[in-house]
Amino acid sequence: MSIGSQPRFRLAALPTPLQELRNLREALGGAERCPRILMKRDDLTGLAFGGNKARKLEFLIGDALRQGATTVITSGAAQSNHCRMTAAAARAAGMRAALVLTKNEPNPAVQGNLFLDKLFGAEIHWIDENPNPMLAIGEEEAAKIAEVSADLTRRGDRPYVIPIGGSSSVGVLGYVTGTLELVTQLFQSGEAPSRLYFANGSRGTQAGLVLGARMYSAPYRAIGIAVSGGGAEKVERAIRIATGTAELLGVPARINAQELINDEGYVGSGYGIATPGCLEAVRMLACAEGILLDTAYTGKAMAGMIDHIRRGEIAPSETVVFLHTGGAPALFAHVEEFGLS
C-alpha cells in the first residue's frame, strides 16, 4: 500500500519552510569555524502553536476516525507538547481527548501547554512523575491508560490510544512523509547536507526520519540528541515500529541499530530539566534569529549541535540541517530558569 492510501486527517500547514540561519552561523564564528546551518521549521505546522506532532497526528487521527473512535487517549508530562497537540487535533476531528499527565508537585501551575490542554477541554488524569529523572515515563502510565480506557468504554465512548509521543507504526508515517518533503526541498534548492540534527525522545520521530532517509536516499545522516534516558529499550522500539511502518507500506526497507545515532551527552539531570547549554542555546536562537526553542527538546538538541560545531566535529565547509520540532508554549512554564523575571 502507498502512503497515499493510508487513512489521514489533514492538520498541518505543509510544506514547512527550510531556511538558512546566517546570524547563528556568525554567532558561532562565521564561515571559518561554523558550517552552514539550515533549519526545517516544523514548529510552523500551524496546529495549536505548531510542532512535529502534527505530522504524526494526521495519520493517527485518521486511523482513529477509521476505527470509529470518539475519544483519543495519550500521555506525557504536565508540559507535554504531544498532549497539547493531541488535544487540539482531537477537537479538529470532532472528537474529545483524555490525557494521562505526570506531575512532581500536588497542583501543577496551569500555564504553558497545560493551560492549552484545559482550554481544549481535555479530560485530565494525573499520575506521579517517574522517580527516575532520566526517564520520561514510568510503569504506572500503562495501568492508568488502561483504567481510563475502560472507564470511557463503560460510559459509551469508543477510545483510541495513542502511545506517548505518537510513537507507533502509524505515527511513523508522519516523518516518512516529512522526509520526502525535506529531500524534495533540498533537491530543488541544490543542497546536500551531511547531517540532520533533531531532539530524540520517544523515538517515533527518529524511526520515521531514518526509515524515510533509507526509502528516499537522503544525503544526510540523522543525528539524534537524546532528551531522556532509556536508550536500549528505545532502540528496540524504534526498530519495531519502523518495521511495522515498512510492512504497512509494503516496502522492503528496514532499519538497524547502527543507523539509530543517538548522542546522550546532553540530557543533563534528566528529562524536562534544562541544562546550562540548553538555556544558552534558547537565548542564542532568540537573539540571533528571533526563533524560539523549548527547554525539554529543541533547546537540548540545539545545545548538542552547537557543541559538536564548537568541538570541530563538523567541518566549516559542510552544511547541516536542524529539525525544529516546536515546543515554544512550554517556555512560559520556565521563566525563572532564564533569570528574566
80: CB partners within 8 A, 6+ apart: 99, 101, 113
- Cβ atoms of 260 and 231 closer than 8 Å: no
> Alpha helices of the chain — where are they, by DSSP H?
22-27, 53-66, 81-92, 112-119, 140-154, 169-189, 204-216, 231-249, 276-289, 298-310
C-alpha 183/C-alpha 18 separation (Å) is 11
Tell which phi-psi region holds residue 337, choosing left (phi > 0), alpha (psi between -120 and 50) or beta.
alpha
Active-site residue among 75, 80, 149, 202? Answer: 80
HSE on the CB side for 188, CA within 13 Å? 8
Coil, helix or strand at residue 253: coil
What amino acid is encoded at 195 in this protein? R
C-alpha 286/C-alpha 288 separation (Å) is 6
- Residue 185: exposure state from Cβ atoms within 10 A (0-12, 13-18, ≥19): middle
What amino acid is encoded at 60 in this protein? L
Q: Which residue has the cell 520515521?
A: 208
Q: Rounded to whole angstroms, what are the CA distances from 122 to 72, 97, 113, 273?
A: 10, 5, 12, 25
Name the grid cell of 253.
Answer: 526497507
Residue 80 among the catalytic residues = yes
As beta bridge partners, residue 71 has 96, 159
Give the residue numbers marked as catalytic.
Answer: 80
